């Protein structure tokens, strides 16, 4: 979950709402919409765990292949953690619902994992490790900031990487200037009268 939140920048509802058919983790997937490993975030109001993607891009299933939705790229680490999870932890045969994330322990083993359970687990882990309160959205924030930094502040890239509706949202929430940026530094120094 942490790898997928950190590298994918998902909202927790999007992550918990993924179905196995939404994952196209091999190159040149049958959907033909993205050459690299990716997932299709699909708005499904009827998910049994009540996880709901906020983005409502149209999507459909044709001959077993999902197309449409919000397409998000998947990192090599995400692919790796997926295979570890599916081969080592995912309950065999217990998942007729087809959802990606399931409860791994207890009487509800194999049932779809609810966003509220994911939040609680992350909060417990944060307390145990002394990090304080860790929320799923923290990862989305750091993902957005990291993409903005790496893309030299390109809001369109950040918007599409995170699946935001508009660049202005990204701009308002995430596009804070780097206080050590040379232009910022020079502007301040000019204001301070140090550039003469
Ligand atoms: Zn696809």
Rounded percentage of the chain residues whose pLDDT exceeds 90: 60
pTM attached to this predicted model: 0.85
Is 54 or 86 the better-scoring residue by pLDDT? Answer: 86
Please give the distance, rounded to the nearest whole angstrom, from the Cα atom of residue 12 to the centre of ligand 1: 20
Task: Based on the fold, state whether residues 162 and 113 are members of the same structural domain.
Answer: no
What b/e string do you get for 18-39 counting C-beta neighbours within 10 Å, with b at 16 or more? bbeebbbeeeebebeebeebbb
CA of 58 to the centre of ligand 1 (A): 14
Is the same domain home to 93 and 19?
A: yes
| CA distance linking residue 52 with residue 111, whole number of Å | 16
Dump pLDDT digits (tens) for 57-86.
899 999 999 999 999 999 999 999 999 999
Three-class SS of 44-106 = CCCCCCCCCCCCCCCEEEECCEEEECEEEECCHHHHHHHHHHHHHCCCCCCCCCCECCECCCC
| Per-residue b or e along 68-97, where b marks 16 or more CB atoms closer than 10 Å to that residue's CB | bbbbbebeeebbebbeebeeeebeeeeeee
Q: Are residues 93 and 6 in the same domain?
A: yes
Domain co-membership, 22 together with 92: yes
In a domain, 163, yes or no: yes
Q: How confident is the model at residue 114 (pLDDT cuts 50, 70, 90)?
A: very high
Q: How many domains does the chain have?
A: 2
CA of 36 to the centre of ligand 1 (A): 9
Q: Final residue of a domain: which of 79, 105, 128?
A: 128
Q: Is the pLDDT at 92 greater than 90, yes or no? A: no
> Quick check: is 196 in a domain?
no
Where in the sequence is the domain holding 51, given as residue range(s)? Answer: 2-128
Same domain, 142 and 187: yes
Check residue 177 and give its pLDDT: 61
Regarding whether 56 and 99 lie in a shared domain, the answer is: yes
Residue 165 has pLDDT above 90, yes or no: no
Assigned domain for 101 exists: yes
For ligand 1, the distance from its centroid to the CA atom of residue 40, given in whole angstroms, is 6
In a domain, 114, yes or no: yes
Residues 104 and 142 in one domain: no
| Higher-pLDDT residue of 15, 148 | 15
User: Rounded to the nearest whole angstrom, what is the distance from the C-alpha of residue 195 to the centroid of ligand 1?
Assistant: 53
pLDDT at 100 over 60: yes
Cα 33 to ligand 1 centre (Å) = 6
Are 155 and 117 part of one and the same domain?
Answer: no
């Amino acid at each position: 979950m942490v790898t997928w939140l950190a590298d994918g920048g998902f909202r927790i509802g999007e992550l918990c709402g993924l179905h196995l058919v939404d994952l196209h983790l091999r190159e040149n997937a049958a959907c033909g919409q993205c050459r690299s490993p990716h997932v299709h975030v699909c708005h499904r109001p009827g998910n049994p765990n009540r996880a709901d993607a906020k983005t409502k891009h149209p999507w459909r299933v044709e001959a077993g292949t999902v197309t449409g939705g919000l397409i998000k790229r998947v990192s090599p680490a995400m692919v790796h953690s997926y295979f570890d999870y599916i081969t080592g932890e995912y309950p065999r045969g217990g998942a007729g619902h087809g959802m990606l994330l399931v409860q791994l322990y207890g009487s509800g083993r194999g049932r779809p994992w609810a966003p509220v359970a994911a939040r609680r687990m992350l909060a417990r882990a944060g307390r145990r490790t002394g990090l304080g309160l860790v929320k799923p959205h923290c990862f989305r924030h750091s993902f957005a900031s990291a993409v903005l930094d790496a893309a030299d502040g390109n809001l369109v890239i950040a918007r599409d990487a995170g699946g935001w509706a508009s660049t202005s949202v990204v701009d308002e929430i995430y596009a804070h200037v780097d206080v050590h940026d040379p232009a910022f530094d020079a502007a301040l120094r000019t204001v301070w009268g140090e550039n003469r």
